[in-house]
Chains A and B, each alone.
Chain A
Amino acid sequence: MNIIKTNDITYNYPDGTEALKNVNFKAEEGKIVALLGPNGAGKSTLFLHFNGILRPSSGSILIDDEEINYHKKDLMKVRQKVGIVFQNPDDQLFAPTVIEDVAFGPMNLGLPREEVEKRVDESLKRVGMEEYKKKAPHHLSGGQKKRVAIAGILAMKPKIMVLDEPTSGLDPKGASQILRLLYDLNKEGMTIIISTHDVDLVPLYAYTVYIISEGKIIKKGSPKEVFEDIKTIRDANLRLPRIAHLMEILQKEDRLPFDKPYPLTIGEARRKLKDHLED
């Protein structure tokens, strides 16, 4: 079942430039979907349509098979269901303390105080930030801020979590902690949509990959299918995962028998190399 579905949405900026052109995006329930695209391709603009912040110039968006109708009450429901974690946590964390920030969403949902407290504790624990409850956001590191931002969304118990460049600006450890967390959340049934240009990580977690360039979806499929089309990838200012690129070079320059499809992850490459060496 598709939990998010957009039908031919087009979005024009007030000055008339088309930011999105007939975008058809689907996210299957319980899967991780990656949206790959260069800077300025329209990733963030598309995301803001998922919870009704932006309204498409034409086309429609279905959440859980229900079309967003932009009435205030229904928008609240949509925003509870679709949580967006923004790229820059400083844009999102506005409260003077961590605990107040995480409580913001559930308080707005009008939940009773005990429930809010429970949810705040749970979600801070979930992201491993429970000791930082009373800290001010400016006393936290980038990775910690990101985790608090995620906790703020988790506390609203969304069905879908949308993350704009969740690993940008983080050190490798911070990035892998975030991905681990998303992976676990997904296992528990949450649908996760990630925008990124980190092509090395995409094959590791994504079930479906979309490539967006200049406001258009130019490719869609499993990581294998998408990265097979090397030309499209490169035309969109992206690249192959390093591993696949290595295999491509080994095949083309050194005439080693690694044919397409190139392995995309370290695990796949290891298997392929082992097979080759054992032959």
Chain B
Amino acid sequence: MFENTLDCYAHSNHLKSTNTYFKVLFAILTMLVSLISTSPVVPLIIAFFMSFLIIFKAKISWKFYLKFFLFPFSFGLLTFVFMAIFFGVGTHVLELGIFNLAVTADGFNLGFLVFARMLGGFTCLAFLALTTPMTELFSVLKLVKIPKIVLELAMLMYRYIFVFLDEAINMYHAQETRLGYSSLKKSLKSMGMLGSNLFIRTWLKGEQAYIAMESRCYDGSMRTMREPESIKSMGTHNLALLILFEVSLITGVYITANFKIF
């Protein structure tokens, strides 16, 4: 079950045992660099580098990664096209010939920058999502003092997503077996039933889970045993590597600051 989910990859990739703080800091700092860059060069380098890490270091199947990548990519492309046409004033670099529409240099540069930043940021997050199990992230969140109640809710939600996913899949198969999805009208109806049924199930399950927790002396607050590891567990070697990498990226940002395609 769930072989093709992010969670499964997060638990079974080749970078799983790499220090969690290292991965989190690496992803977030790189994303920030990608965001502050004023030229599309560095974000694109970041996107390539991160994709390289994901496919060759973490050994995520490239087919899965491409599929995963396709959604933000197409969204980004759409944004790029619209910005190129509708944003900016000044010299026209390409006349479209209909409705007096034209691509302006200004708009093109801006659109491309947004597109590049988006890919850069997305690949950073993808790296984090595909290499770091949620269970590890919870302890990082604890360290940065996310309110306890939010964390508890997140933990419960994370656990029960899979319980309900399992139920939903079973219900879906059961409906399919009885031809519930053989036409559009039937599909809509079946989907609706599945949704409402699932809602009732969550209600009942919540009740059950509460009884089970009460049986283990639950008194309204979840105490977790694990103290978050110190950020020092990352090691000086990793820290040095990280700083070096980010500094060279920032230098890249500085050098290419005025780079423009048009």
Contact = CB atoms under 8 A, between A and B. Distances in A.
Contact of A108 (B162, B208, B218, B226): B218
Nearest to A101: B159
Contacts, number: 99
B217 A84 contact: no
A168 interface: no
Contact of A76 (B8, B212, B217): B217
B159 A103 contact: no
B225 interface: yes
Interface string A14-45: 00000000000000000000000000000000
A105 B217 contact: yes
Interface string B147-162: 0000000011011101
Interface in B126-145: 133-135, 138
B213 interface: yes
Contacts of B213: 94, 104
Contacts of B212: 84, 86, 91-92, 94
Interface residues on B, range: 35 or more
A138 interface: yes
Interface centre among A93, A107, A135, by most chain B C-beta atoms within 10 angstroms, is A107
Contact of A138 (B2, B218, B224): B2
Nearest to B165: A138
A209 to B, nearest CB: 24
B215 A84 contact: yes
Given A86-B208, A94-B156, A136-B11, A152 B216 contact: yes
Contacts of B66: none
Interface stretch (A61-69, A113-121, A212-220, A227-235): A113-121
B209 A156 contact: no
A84 to B, nearest CB: 5
B8 to A, nearest CB: 8
B163 interface: yes
Interface centre among A96, A113, A117, A134, by most chain B C-beta atoms within 10 angstroms, is A96
B6 to A, nearest CB: 13
Contact of A107 (B1, B163, B205, B224): B224
Interface in B178-217: 205, 208-209, 211-217
B223 interface: yes
A53 B212 CA distance: 9
Contacts of B225: 99-100, 103, 107, 113, 116-117, 120
A139 interface: yes
B93 interface: no
Contacts of A51: 215
Given A104-B222, A138-B166, A48 B211 contact: yes
A114 B162 CA distance: 31
Interface string B216-258: 1111001111110000000000000000000000000000000
B215 A93 contact: no
A51 B31 CA distance: 52
A83 B158 contact: no
A215 B136 CA distance: 46
A203 interface: no
A96 B219 contact: no
B11 to A, nearest CB: 6
A216 to B, nearest CB: 24
A91 B138 contact: no
B216 A96 contact: no
Contacts of B7: 136, 138
B224 A105 contact: no
Nearest to A92: B212
Contacts of A93: 159
Contacts of A113: 225, 227
B217 A53 contact: no
A79 interface: yes
A147 to B, nearest CB: 16
A48 B133 CA distance: 35
22 contacts: A51-B215, A53-B211, A53-B214, A80-B217, A86-B215, A93-B159, A94-B209, A96-B135, A96-B158, A99-B226, A100-B224, A103-B225, A108-B217, A108-B218, A120-B225, A136-B7, A136-B133, A136-B159, A138-B2, A139-B11, A156-B216, A156-B217
The 3 residue pairs across chains A and B that have the minimum distance between CB atoms: A138-B162, A103-B225, A108-B217
Interface of A: 48, 51, 53, 76, 79-80, 83-84, 86, 88, 90-97, 99-100, 103-105, 107-109, 113, 116-117, 120, 134-139, 152-153, 156
Given A51-B215, A138-B163, 17 more contacts: A76-B217, A79-B214, A86-B215, A88-B208, A90-B163, A90-B205, A91-B209, A91-B212, A92-B209, A94-B209, A96-B134, A96-B159, A103-B224, A107-B223, A107-B224, A138-B166, A153-B216
